[in-house]
Structure formats: structure tokens, C-alpha cells
Amino acid sequence: MSNQIAGKTISFLLKSGLKNAMLGHLSKESNFPELAYKTVVEELIASNYNENSLTLSVAGRDTHSKLVMI
């Protein structure tokens, strides 16, 4: 999944009440955490999302991620 598609998907899901999202579509070669986060946030901004309506985090490639309660 591309970063842009991830952003568009999260944007769509926000309309259904999504409150938390964790980006986990990273690779060792071409997609690193900072790029994924930046690109997804840019897509969300283009969709006029409210910054306070979503907690966005990025899963680590080589470490455990924070616990998310659902």
C-alpha cells in the first residue's frame, strides 16, 4: 500500500468514527517511518481533517510498537 493510499483510506475511515490509526506498511528499502507519517498527514490535511480527531502513530520496523487499546 502506498503512503498516499494509506492517507486516503484513513481519511475515509475518519468519517466513520476512526479515532486511532497505526501505520504499519513500512519496508526496509523504500518506505521509512518519517516519510510514511509525513505523506499520510499531508493527505489528511488535504481532506480537511481535524487534528484533534485522530491519534496517528507509526509501527516500528524492528521493534515492538506501543500498545493500543481498542
The pLDDT tens digits of the residues spanning 6-53 come to 999 999 999 899 999 999 877 777 788 888 999 999 999 999 888 888
The secondary structure of residue 63, as a DSSP letter, is S
Answer whether residue 48 is part of any domain: yes
What pLDDT sits at residue 5? 93
Q: Which three cell numbers stand for residue 41?
A: 498527514
Answer whether residue 46 is part of any domain: yes
The secondary structure of residue 70, as a DSSP letter, is -
Count how many domains the chain has: 1
Answer whether residue 17 is part of any domain: yes
Give the structural domain span for 18.
Answer: 3-58
Residues 9-44 as b or e (16 or more Cβ within 10 Å = b):
ebbeebeeeeeebebeebeeeebeeeebeebbbebb
Tell me the pLDDT band of 4, cut-offs 50, 70 and 90.
very high
What pLDDT sits at residue 24? 83
Q: What is the pTM of this model?
A: 0.81
Is the predicted pLDDT of residue 67 greater than 80, yes or no? no
Beta bridge partners of 55: 20
Answer whether residue 47 is part of any domain: yes
